[in-house]
Amino acid sequence: MSVSVPAAVLSAVLLLAACGGEAPAPKAAGKAAGAKAGAKGPEGKAGAPVPGPGGPVPARVAELAPQRVPIRLESVGQVEGSREVEVRARVAGIVLKRLYSEGELVKAGAPLFQIDPAPFEIAVAQVKAQLAQERARNEQARRESGRLKELAEQKAISQREYDDAISNLKLSEASIQVAENRVREAELNLSYTRVAAPLTGISGRAQRSEGSLVTTTDSLLTSISQIHPVWARFALAESDVAKLPGSRLGADAEVRLILGDGSRYPARGRINFSSSQVDARLGTRQMRAEFENTAGKLLPGQFVRVEVAVNRPQASFLVPQSAVLQNEKGHFVFTMDGENKAAVRPITVGEWVGDDWTVLSGLKPGDRVVLDNLFKMQPGVTVQPLAAGPAKP
């Protein structure tokens, strides 16, 4: 049987034979492509070094130096006046008028309320009249004792009559003192009808309106908070307090406030109270700090964040958080020895400072810590330092 060959295929074969060419082998093409791809490094960059098995691992390295890193603690606090007083009526009566604007700053001695003074004015007039009576009786007793003294010297009267006259004079003088004290008491009660601010501060809401009756048992009128200086009250966990030198906050601690809008209050505070007892329910200790507040930016009841910084007794190191690893035994870092060999160094860490860990123990000055490429690190691996320098402060 004869097989027909298409004319196009026959022409192509004749053309190749005439040119002396051969059809390219597929495997050879694949090797050539692989050779071209091999000209680039494993990261796709031409000329990049490719560490072979056992070769040095490139990594950034930081040489450590000890630093004074303070212990920093943070808590939520609330502002309160350094002095907060309740303004109460000291006498009973009808409130005639409120003399201040609620919520405004009032000066010490400024009038706040006026209680009806009429009954107390009458009481003052009465005791003054009684004082006048006693003084008149005293004058009579004095004259009487003077006359009887001459008669007693002449033996015209008995000694008993003269002694009675002297006693009446002394009783009259005592009655004058009682009357004078009653006058002072009545005048004092009259002055109490004008209720004044006991200190300078922010006034509160009035608890009694005009026309209300106040008594000595229900006498609260308003309150005043002194806001210069102010106090910030907060609590610290007992575990945090245990980190402090002597497990207590001293007057040398630096206290800062962060306001609700995230801004930092410019004035520094000082600790003026540290409780010696632990709250059994919460496991915290109450603290209080005092701040200057001349501009009145801090108000009683305002919530703030409190930052406390205490000097650490010993120097420590700052290591980037990315360089600190952790396993079942604790935290560790990779360091380089004199032959640039990697080694595992167990460490004890404190708190975070920005992007760094505070390392309390396990490192010494001059140690070189590997900062990156940690997934390739193993003990004994040679490290090729890419950059060396002091740790980030």
At the topology level of CATH, where does 117-192 sit?
Helix Hairpins (1.10.287)
pLDDT for 54:
56
| Average pLDDT estimate for 261-271 | 94
Instruction: Look up tokens 């320098």; give the residue.
Output: 389
Q: Tell which wins on pLDDT, 13 or 215.
A: 215
Report the C-alpha gap between 113 and 87 in whole angstroms.
10
In the chain, list all ranges with CATH 2.40.420.20.
Answer: 57-68+315-385
Per DSSP, the residues of 282-342 read T-EEEEEEEE--TT--S-TT-EEEEEEEE--SS-BEEEEGGG-EEETTEEEEEEE-TT-BE
At the topology level of CATH, where does 57-68+315-385 sit?
2.40.420
Q: Is the pLDDT of residue 25 over 50?
A: no
Report the C-alpha gap between 207 and 103 in whole angstroms.
13
pTM, two decimal places: 0.62
Report the C-alpha gap between 331 and 325 in whole angstroms.
6
Report the C-alpha gap between 359 and 335 in whole angstroms.
14
| Average pLDDT estimate for 58-84 | 90
pLDDT for 118:
97
| Average pLDDT estimate for 368-376 | 90
In the chain, list all ranges with CATH 2.40.30.170.
Answer: 229-310
Task: Tell me the C-alpha to C-alpha distance, in Å, between residue 187 and each of 73, 127, 268, 306.
Answer: 56, 10, 47, 49
Q: Is the pLDDT of residue 39 over 60?
A: no
In the chain, list all ranges with CATH 1.10.287.470.
Answer: 117-192
| Average pLDDT estimate for 167-183 | 95
CB 303 within 8 A of CB 260: yes
Number of Cβ atoms within 10 Å of the Cβ of 8: 7
∠ Cα 20 21 25 (to 5°): 150
| Residue 283 region by backbone torsions, left for phi larger than 0, else alpha for psi between -120 and 50, else beta | left
pLDDT for 276:
87
pLDDT for 16:
37
Q: Tell which wins on pLDDT, 304 or 350.
A: 304
Q: How confident is the model at residue 387 (pLDDT cuts 50, 70, 90)?
A: low
Q: Is the pLDDT of residue 378 over 80?
A: yes
Q: How confident is the model at residue 320 (pLDDT cuts 50, 70, 90)?
A: very high
Report the C-alpha gap between 393 and 65 in whole angstroms.
9
229-310 in CATH: which number? 2.40.30.170
Residue among 357, 337, 336 nearest 347 (CA)? 357
- Report the DSSP beta bridge partners of residue 233: 78, 288
| Average pLDDT estimate for 9-16 | 36
| Average pLDDT estimate for 7-36 | 37
